[in-house]
Structures are given as C-alpha cells and as structure tokens.
Amino acid sequence: MNKLFEHFNKITIVLTNMSIKKYLVLIIVCTLAACNDSDDKKVIDLMSYKSKEIQLGSIHKVIPLESSIDSNLGFITKSVVDFENDRVFVLSRFNLYIYNTNGKFLKKAPIGRGPSEFIRIMSFTINSNNKKLYVLNDPKNITVLSYDLDVISSYEYREFHCSDIQLIDNNNLLLYNYATHKEGQGFFVGIYNLEKGKIIRKQIPISESPYHRFTVITSKNFPKYGNRQFFTSPNIFGLYEFKEDSFIRINDYFLGSKAVPERISNRYLKKKRRRIFRQESILDGYIPFILNTFKFKDNYIAILDDSENNCVVIPENNNSDIYMNGPISEYLGLPPVHSLNNPVGIYENNLVFSLLPNELFTNKDMDTPKEISIGQQKLSVKYDSNPILIIIR
C-alpha cells in the first residue's frame, strides 16, 4: 500500500502537464503495479467453515509393525515410508527403528554415549536415491547414516535448538529451531550446508509468530507434497513454501474470536507459566496452536489445537470455501481415536498415520485379542501390540 501512495505522489507532480484522460490511465497502471508488489499469501478465515462430506484420500497400505523385545514401540512421532527401497523408518521414544514395508523389524539405532551411539534422536530425513539417513541427534549433532545404520559422517551446529530436519538437496538441510526464546535465536529455520559444516542462512524471523516463546515441540515441520517443500510451526498461524531458496508465506490463517488474545498470552509469559498456557487456553475455548498444516492433493489441511483436534480443509484454488467435519480421521474413514487425529508422516504423495491398538480396548477387555478391520484388511491385535501404520494416498 505504501508503494501505491508513492505512485500517486509522483502523479501529482506531473498532473499539471497532463490531460485528465491521461491521468486516469496512469492511475489504473499504477494501481495494478502496486497490487503486483503485494504478497501472494492468502488470508484464510478458518472459522468461516461449512460442513460437507469430503473424501480426502483412500487407504493405500496397512502395515502392522512387528512387536519384539528390540522393537517395543510407544507413540510414533514421525515415520517415512520408502516403498521403492522396501523400508519403513519410525521415530519412537527418541530412537529410530527400521522395518520393511510388510512391517518386519530389521534394525534400530544404538542409544548411548559411546562411539556410533545416539543420545537422543529428535528427527530424521532420508535420501531415497542414495539410501542415506540424516539424523538429528541431540544435542546439536547431525549424523549421516546408510540405510543399514552405518555411520558415514557427522556434523555439529551451535546456533539453534532443533527438533526437525529436512533434506533439500545433496548438500543442504533445513533445520527447525523450536527454542526461539533463547538469546540470539531470532529465527525459526536455518539452512545447513554440509560442505561448509554450518548454518549458512537463517529464515522466518520470530516476528512471524504472535507468541514465539510458546510452542509445541514437533518433528514433522517440513511437509512435502510432490516436489513442493513446505514449512509449518505450531505457533505460526500460516503455511510457507520454499521457492527460489527462500520460504514464502502462502497461507495466513485467521482464527477470529478463537485466537488467544495478546493480553492473555502476555499474562502467562510474565508469570513464566509457559507450560500451562496451552492447556488453559484450550479450556477457555481458544485455539493456541495450529498442530499441523500441509498440502494434500488439491487441498490445504489445517489441524487445530482444540479439544477435538478439528481438521479444516481448504481447497487450493478456492479458499473462500472452507470445510470442517471433525478430526482428519472423519475425512478418511479411519477409526475415531486420538492417535489418528494427526499424521506422523507427510512425504511425497503419502500421508502416514499411526494407530495405537490400546486405544481400541477398554479396561474390561485388555486381556483378550481383538479382531479389527482397517479398510479392506482384517487384523488381530493385542492391547500391547505395536502401532499400525496406515498409508493414505
């Protein structure tokens, strides 16, 4: 808009030398120029939703993960499925587990403080072309591994406290900084160059978030659809796309009366009560975070941090039509359980969900195996069975 005023100021200088007709033409041209200078991001009112039955995708494959002494999984925080190389990578309890695409357990990363061991794995990314893993090992280490978990190389970084990592090419990685409240850490994303062994560029300043000191630590902040790379952070109400070596904010989410008022977030911040900010905000009817947002097929998806984890569907080419029918499981014909409210993997054209079998049991039938159906597949599960991966396309 400032540029528009600059154009009009120039017009007034030359007005005395121009006819009214020429003046009107110049106004139109300058107005169009100013519009072209504006951002391409869409402002989307998530609260202006309608209810409509939508089928977002269908079940491509169901993978029950083998249970064993060495592969006793808890909640899965991230998973990537590489069908071409017959590998499934799973992050659970800060450790990395590898299965084949039928769910047979193959190997897990060694945890410890010795050589070639990992202290705590926060996240990982893969290069399916050369069968390499890039593991974010806390604190402040990136380890490159083969698919067989042999160490290839190791790198350090200092600036950020990271919980997610994403490969963008053979020599560069994206790092997500969750601890932006730390001194000197004023950005959410760093581009790490392996050749130089350091973060070479920082992007997305903390001013993009209404309260960058509050967040939900996640390990799937770089969703990818086809060749398009995106970024999301729970405390930024928008979605970014990586274009020409920079992240551009393409969606700006508006929550209206459901947004946490600044006076309330400031109150929790001043009292150093960051841990209960989220809980009490939800109880008060606000939406403190966007748990996940990504592109899938012809839609953008936003999963809200409310009591139901409601899912908003936004058609990419018509963001005036917005739909909400409950959690994302409602759009996919999946069981209505908490573990299926948010995908654990968003990679290429796949959504990966992780079903916790214990959610299908009650206190009265915990000791009896249960027969279940997921799509066309029938399974027998126990209360303590490993999670079941559901691949959606």
pLDDT in tens, 330-348: 999 999 999 999 999 999 8
Percent of the chain with pLDDT over 90: 81
To which residue do tokens 């121009």 refer?
18
Residue 36 has pLDDT above 50, yes or no: no
Q: Which fold has domain 45-57+72-316?
A: Neuraminidase (2.120.10)
d(C-alpha 6, C-alpha 106), whole Å = 64
pTM attached to this predicted model: 0.88
pLDDT band of 26, cuts 50, 70, 90: very low
Cα–Cα dist 59/89, whole Å: 19
Look at residue 307 and tell me whether its pLDDT is greater than 50. Answer: yes
Residue 277's Cβ-count burial label (10 Å; 0-12, 13-18, 19+) is buried
How many Cα atoms within 13 Å fall on the side-chain side of residue 159?
19
Q: Average pLDDT, stretch 186-215?
A: 96
pLDDT for 90 beyond 80: yes
Average pLDDT over residues 175-191: 89
Tell me what pLDDT residue 332 has.
Answer: 96
Q: Which residues contact 5 (CB under 8 A, 6 or more apart)?
A: none
Beta-bridge mates of residue 97: 90, 108
Distances 348 to 70, 118, 243, 246, 302 between C-alpha atoms, Å = 29, 28, 17, 20, 18
User: Residue 364: pLDDT band by 50, 70, 90 thresholds?
Assistant: confident
Q: Are the C-beta atoms of 3 and 37 separated by less than 8 Å?
A: yes
Q: Which of 26-30, 161-165, 192-196, 274-278 has the lowest mean pLDDT?
A: 26-30
**123-134: pLDDT as tens digits:** 999 999 999 999
Cis, bond preceding 139 (omega within 30 deg of 0): yes
pLDDT of 39: 54
Give the whole-angstrom CA distance, residue 71 versus residue 51: 41
**Any idea where the domains of the chain sit in the sequence?**
1-38, 45-57+72-316
Among 322, 326, 344, 346, residue whose Cα is nearest residue 335 = 326
- Residue 174: closest CA among 206, 220, 131: 220
